[in-house]
A and B are shown apart, each in its own frame.
Chain A
């Protein structure tokens, strides 16, 4: 154990690398050996998250097991001014957990216990490294589940979900992570613990709980989470509708919601996505369709049937060429299988793909999808669309080959143009994957300097030394100025008549 005297050693001067070494020397005195990873071979495993286009080998990885260790590690990092990048499961798609070569990765992987399940109050207290799906599995014997279900739910951690404010197929009806978390324990960069919210439905003061959601590991390290659990619905139906044209499918989405029906999930796939998925998992999708919609309805058996009738009618009225309904669990699973494996399916047809995450108002779906198709021709790169249509959250997958010189850059430029399109349509550059390192430039398009300044000020409040995940999530004003990116105001670009490349 470390004595107080050592913990109070004055901050080391010297280069970033020297400060890191000094901090590690200090950690070695009290951290169990298996908690610290420094072997170059092992460090490689942490060089990227789910966005492999960005890679950096961290200076070291620390894998603590207790909150007290987290506090002392952060305090040491604070004293030595060493950057800390928190990491959950590393499935993030924006480079949020990309390491700093002169910093440590703080892996929360061993915080993997479900601390309590309280079925009577319908909450569970869990550690941040618990996998998303594990919560629903643990709650299942009580007839309860945790609603937000990112496609990555078998792997991603609940701490990462909070840090990204993750969404999923069922978020249309049941909300995002921020709507399903009631409490957090957070360790701040100077080693303080904050308790935000808890067992009651609300908490006094400013809504710091909301502020921490989607904060991408920039404001504090989440060490405990109280999530809401919901009763499992009695019955579920999934409708699969085929369309001969994409705009018709897009209109059907607006039609369903406009009719006052909020399905549990409402997803769309375009023809290339249908083909890729069908090839991969043989879900029985209509491979000739221009688009399919998957509509999930839940409730009592009677209401599911009533809603299914109405939705079928709406789909047909909007030009669906075929509507199939799955009532039994096997068929439902088959309908979803294609959607759920769409990303890996696309991975089979293209050496690389780049997943975008813009969100737009539903009524602009058809128009923005057409815009993306136009850009696809312009950039000479194919696009596959598979996305959360109900809440307007697009996931265009840009296909490219990193081995071909210049293709990655072309894909990135194409992606930026898609995000601009989303902002112009009144939407946002990221619906659920976060900014990370990937969308820093796009942030300059969405926000004016005044708002960006406030974001930096918030960071200052929580992390005055800028040690938590430095350089992520919010671009410097300087970067935006350099980029000359035009902040899109009120959905209108300056000089829209000028062609832009």
Chain B
């Protein structure tokens, strides 16, 4: 069944390459807000659905690109496993291929790694309709250049993710979230202390008043860390972290552009007007602000990181921090290897890519 669906996609891609037609790869369409706008005929991956291989004793799963992320996660939960990077869905229709292509990781990221850290292999349909296989099912693999990890976060500009293999982790034995009322300075020093010592932290969220810290791991570790941390225990924390991950908290309901600043975790307060919230022990900061893009990017860069216009209209501008000239040059030439006719998601990641 999958082979027939792949054959149909391949036909469409070949046609598009021959006629110079742009294609917009669409999984569940849940992350269309992310990145620059694409004008192209939709290429749907939802025909490619199913879990190809999952053996609980092996910590990996192979899934077709159009499989619903929710379906995959439900299956994993049944066997006591999960995707360590806790990816956001941004809608019930989210697909696994779209999740990998967007490269977005959730609350657990600084402690468990990002999407790219858990990608073991891909089958990808390139812009000439050729099916390529990079990586595999094993954790360690250095044969040939790593052309699979770069698919994470490429926003479909290098090819259609037909199948992906992801590393899994066991669900933690115990989870508990503590809430601490702290001002900025107290919050920063608390996070710093946690970051520097071997604590079982797996998520943080701070919106200016309350610091939420999720602890997860072996039961005695969680209990000991909770005692040391203090604050109050949140009776049911599942909803909180889902709402943080999915940006459903009231904090996110705001008409202003939403910026994501990725900075070193201990970076001091960034001098930009607007409302701030932060995750990832300070390494991912959210800013609701009408500041101009130039100022936001400069501030992010001088804090040691970069800024993304996560939600909002960039107009003709970039959404992601512009790349240095030699790096952009490499991007163009790498794109040409996989998509010489510029068929896939043109301009979604960067203009001209």
The residues of A that contact B334 with a CB separation of less than 8 Å are 206, 458, 461
Rounded to whole angstroms, the CA-CA distance of A394 and B177 in the bound complex is 41
Rounded to whole angstroms, the CA-CA distance of A452 and B305 in the bound complex is 35
**Which A residues are closer than 8 A to B by beta carbons?**
118-123, 142-144, 164-165, 167, 171-172, 175-176, 178-179, 188, 192-196, 198-208, 210-211, 213-215, 218-219, 230-234, 254-255, 257-258, 260-262, 299-300, 302-303, 306-307, 359-363, 388, 391-393, 426-435, 439, 442-443, 446-448, 450-452, 454-455, 457-459, 461-462, 473-474
Cβ distance B348 to chain A, nearest Cβ, rounded Å: 12
The residues of B that contact A473 with a CB separation of less than 8 Å are 144-145
Inter-subunit contact A360/B221 (CB<8 Å): no
Inter-subunit contact A306/B132 (CB<8 Å): no
Given A143-B197, A194-B330, A200-B283, do A299 and B218 touch, yes or no (CB 8 Å)? yes
Inter-subunit contact B327/A208 (CB<8 Å): yes
Given A214-B142, A214-B146, A363-B58, do A450 and B130 touch, yes or no (CB 8 Å)? yes
Nearest-neighbor residue (CB-CB) of A232 within chain B:
B198
Inter-subunit contact B143/A447 (CB<8 Å): yes
Nearest-neighbor residue (CB-CB) of B81 within chain A:
A260
B265 contacts A by Cβ under 8 Å: yes
Interface residue stretch chosen among B2-10, B26-34, B66-74, B316-324 = B316-324
Inter-subunit contact A200/B323 (CB<8 Å): no
Pick the residue among B265, B266, B323 that contacts A205 (CB under 8 A): B323
Rounded to whole angstroms, the CA-CA distance of A203 and B29 in the bound complex is 24
Inter-subunit contact B137/A211 (CB<8 Å): no
Inter-subunit contact B132/A451 (CB<8 Å): yes
Rounded to whole angstroms, the CA-CA distance of A340 and B65 in the bound complex is 42
Cβ distance B294 to chain A, nearest Cβ, rounded Å: 16
Which are the 5 A-B pairs with shortest beta-carbon distances?
A: A258-B57, A260-B170, A302-B220, A431-B140, A303-B218
Cβ distance B127 to chain A, nearest Cβ, rounded Å: 12
Cβ distance A210 to chain B, nearest Cβ, rounded Å: 4
Inter-subunit contact A206/B266 (CB<8 Å): no
Inter-subunit contact B140/A167 (CB<8 Å): yes
B326 contacts A by Cβ under 8 Å: yes
Rounded to whole angstroms, the CA-CA distance of A381 and B45 in the bound complex is 51
Inter-subunit contact A122/B196 (CB<8 Å): yes
The residues of A that contact B248 with a CB separation of less than 8 Å are none
B110 contacts A by Cβ under 8 Å: yes
Nearest-neighbor residue (CB-CB) of A119 within chain B:
B196
Nearest-neighbor residue (CB-CB) of A305 within chain B:
B220
Rounded to whole angstroms, the CA-CA distance of A235 and B324 in the bound complex is 44
Rounded to whole angstroms, the CA-CA distance of A152 and B133 in the bound complex is 32
Given A213-B146, A231-B198, A391-B140, do A188 and B337 touch, yes or no (CB 8 Å)? no
Nearest-neighbor residue (CB-CB) of A212 within chain B:
B146
Interface residue stretch chosen among B91-99, B150-158, B235-243, B251-259 = B150-158
Rounded to whole angstroms, the CA-CA distance of A451 and B197 in the bound complex is 43
Q: Which of A203, A234, A363, A439 has the most CB of B within 10 A?
A: A203
Inter-subunit contact A210/B149 (CB<8 Å): yes
Within B253-291, the residues touching A (CB, 8 Å) are: 262-266, 280, 283-284
Rounded to whole angstroms, the CA-CA distance of A206 and B156 in the bound complex is 11
B51 contacts A by Cβ under 8 Å: no
